[in-house]
Structure 1
Amino acid sequence: MKVSALLLQLINYSGPLFAGQFDSLKVDELVKQAKATMVSSPDSSRALGFELYAYANANDYDWGRAQGYIFVGASFHRQGGFDTAIYYFDKALEVNNTLKDSLQIGAAKLNKAMCLVSTGRYDEGAQSILESMKTLEQIMDTQPKAKNAYISCFNIMGQVYYYQSDFEKTRDYFVRYLEEATKAQDTLLIASANNNLGAVYYELGDFDKSLEHDLKGAEIHKQLNNPMGYANAMQNIAIDLMERAEYDKAEKFLKVALIWYQKVPNDKGVSEVYFNLGKLFYRTNKIDLSSKWYKLAIDLSGEINNPEVIKRSLLGLSNNYAAAGNHKMALETYKDHDIISDSLVNLSNLNKVSELEIAYETEKKERQIIFQKAAIQQSELELKRNQLVIIILFVLIALIGLTFLWFFKQQQYRRKLLLEQERTRASKEQIQAVIHSQEEERSRFAMDLHDDFGQLISALRININQKEVKEDEANNLLDAMYAALKNIAFNLMPQTLLEKGLSEAVDELCYQLNRLGEIKFKLNTFDIDETSIAPVKVSIYRIVQELLSNIIKYASANVVQVSITGLKGELNVLIEDNGDGFDPQKFFQSSGNGWRNISSRLDLMNGSIEVDSSRGRKNSSVSILIPYIKKEAKKVA
């Protein structure tokens, strides 16, 4: 007996918003951990599921309750506790039906179907699968996560036919399963599909194809670190080897599979290994050992309600009794096998599944026909409405045409007049801003000369007129006069800007500002073409100077980062501070000379400015882009 892979659909997404006061991050983390541990440690996943349910229940959070039920049910399914798993999936369905959560409803019905199939209730399982497909089909276009769940429906429907020995139909579903999984590029689904195809090709007697698919599935499960899938693949490969009479190798693979099933743990997988070990020892004429493993398979399968393994193990045990000459026990055991077999595989079951499929497909086609008729009627109505609209529009266009032309001419004239007025106003404002800026510079220069330099000269005169001239004091005064004169000259026009360029000048400006000690100014420059920006470097420097001055006055910052970067044909100046934010619109609409000076200089340089800030938010940035023509270095002949 080969193992087919059943993949649980644990679909996670941001749940509905919750009005109460609780830790949503804790819910997200519990969901994340429960899903991550499902493959490697179902017990841990179950504990996290119960914790999630308890927390959600305490906070009256239905979506969290449903997720808790799903993880608990999935953990029981993973370990072969199918009836318990069905109970929790039903509880999840109740909550999700209340929430009208179609994605989770479809996934829960699919998971329930897996459990029903595993316990031999094939007609109920088929019904649950078709209900899941119907739900998921309606949301696949809007919710991409529904696609993988829908793909898994082909897997489970294939299982229904597999356990009822209709292997041709099984193969059709599993081939479709692999095709859809490959399109979706889902490696876990691809691995599962290969395992399933290996199982069905085995039943069809194509052992080469069976081994080919089993090896592919094993490799992918190993890469994904999926112990359950890897155990399934190891068991399937062992069965392929048995058909090749490579019994020693087959026994090794079965025992590897047994170890991995026990690690999960998964009693269903363990019971299947027991059955296959019984089959292997029967073929190698170790009848007592074979009977031991068959009995272990029957006992464990009875505990977990796995009738398929019980049925096959009873048949194997009957053959063992016959081989040992105990025909009475062989007959009684075979009768037990028949009883279970009749309950699992009979014509009514197959017919009912087929009827369900036909009903589903019929309903699907009927829905499509209804949608098509509705679409045709809607198109006809729209066509008539559009014809009427076209006629009305044609009449309106004819009536409005001349009026529009007249209106257009009037608007064109007004726009031209307004544009001229705006240009005149802007020109006047720019001139006024330049004059005002010059007057401010002159006033400040005069004040600096009077207050700083004038006072120092007076002090020096007093010092010289004293009878005893102190050389140290005179030298100190001369040094102070030189420093004041240098500072005044720096404010008027930094020599560094003229002699060394923009980056050195801005670096010197940051150095001067850092000496004040209130704000830390940092400068980064990269790939600045000083030759190309030479014509506009003074304007750029003044803009930077103005912006830094504004930050000092208004921002309440303690760190300012200035970055000047040469781009392809552009210079980018980025100034960032960690101070209080402001309203950019008020900045742009300011009537102050600062903004007008910046705007005038940017207009002359064809530059642009972007401001990222808002009132009440820390951290602001100003980005300026200035285009320039890069000058190529002259080649030396």
Structure 2
Amino acid sequence: MRKKYLLLFVIFCGNISLYGQVSKDSINSILENTTITDSLRANTLNQVILEHFTDSKPDSAIVLVKKLLDFTSEKKLEPQKADAINTFANSLLHKGEVAEALSKYEESLLLYQKLKDLKGEGIVLNNIGKIYKLRWNFDEAEKYYKQALKKSKEALDTVNEAGTLTNLGNINLTRFKVDQAIPYYLQAIQLCKKINFKKGEGIALLNLGIAYTRKEDYEKSIACYDNARLIALELNNKNNLVHVYEALSSTYFQIKNYNNVIETSKQGLELANQLKRTSLQKDFNYYLYEAYKAKNNYNKALYHYELGIQYLDSLDILETEKRLLQFEFDKQKLKDSIVQVEKDYKTQLAFDKEIEQKQAEKRYLLIGFFGLFVVLSIIIFLVYKNTKKKQQLVEKERQIELQKTEKLLKEQELNTIDAMISGQEKERQRLASELHDSVGATLAAAKLQFEHIQKQKEKGKEIDELYTKTASLLDDAYKEVRTMAHEKNNGVIAKKGLLPAIKNLAKNVSGINNLSVEVVHFGLEKRLENSLEISIFRIIQELVTNIIKHSQATEATISITQHDNSINIIVEDNGVGFSSKNLSFTSGIGLSNVEKRIEQLLGTLEVDSNPGKSTTALIDIPL
């Protein structure tokens, strides 16, 4: 309806020429005309500016939009003001003032949001997405395109929805995500066909063709270009048509179909000349130059080469190509065999030189690799040798430490033996003294009594009393001998008891090889028989010695628990362990003596250990 009123009003005014030029007087007459409403005047002027100035004359559009903004502000036409700001931003964008355009788009977006105009929001969000695409901020552009798509769907604005789908396809195509771009183009084409929006369909088909060209599916891409060309011809949309011809020329050039390159490039060049599109003029001349050169038509190739140079910023870009082209032209014209021979000779020399250079490079590369390999081998050997020496040094230090430990244990054992021998000697001396002083005296008295009995027997006097005294003396001698035997049986260790002896052992070995030994006991209130205590002490001493020599442990625990009928001993450590499954008590790891002692006491021994884990010895001895 808006376009219908616009067309009627333009015809009525008669101020728009066939070439789409609108004078300032025409704009003023639209603004000052009171035969229609203010909102229709604003909408009409906005459409005129948008359609006739944005592409070709952005400066003029900016001047006129400012007038329109003043008009909408004066008349308080908020919806039309939002449209005018959006058009103002379009003019700034075409002028190349990107930052100012983004600011105006954001201003119009706020106004559309205030008015709850979903259609306007969708259009502006789409334009903001274009700004971020120009800035190569594709993530932000895609975000705004998706917001625009949502608003357009809510507003049932199918035209902007189709355009946004095409823009989303373009974002993915720019990111080289061709397979993700194609579905967007297909949706846009389907939507445009549904509402008969030919212009949008043509743009989507053009971009879909570019996507298929990227996939090297040239049959589908050419079909898309042909359909886009027919739509552009139907709508007389020269701007889209010239881009279709450029895409066709590029595709035909890739597949080396030079006849079609020439045909489409000629048509495209004619349009580019009409529209004064410098970059497209350069491109079409380049395609014609390459196509004619491939067909050996050097006159026309040189013509389009010279024509294309006019649109370049620098003549140095194709100078080398120009000389080669002139050489080919002269060769065809003069057919100088001498020049051909000379060229072939130079080419062969260059080829031979290149081969020789490559061979030399290969030799240097091989030498470099070999040298690097030798250096790396030497480094690896030195590192290995150094590591081996360190390992040997560590092993030697460990052996020295073991020897020190064994020496310390032997010294401790010798000290213990010396103490025992010394004690035994003193005990012998005490025993001899007691036997001489006590038992000897008693026996001497008993001997005298027997002699006296013998004398009195002959006289027959007081025999019974003499027998009683003699029996008493013998009983005293027996008791003294028995007492000394009991005292002797107590032994050196038994003087203090088993538990103090074990605690003293733990105290003496703690600190050797960073080993810490703890003693835990339960129920040892009563003393054991001396020989049993000595045997248990020797068993524990042997196990502790084994831990020091072989386990590399830092912690060990000795647990002793006395029950009514047995005594339980647990010796465990946190060392490296060994394989208890294949354990042989005669393997020399210090357990054979332990086993023999336990067998003599009718006890049992269990060893639980695995390589890399702790070792636990469980001993049960009946009482």
- The TM-score bracket by the shorter chain reads 0.3 to 0.5
Larger Rg: 2
Q: TM-score, normalised by structure 1?
A: 0.39
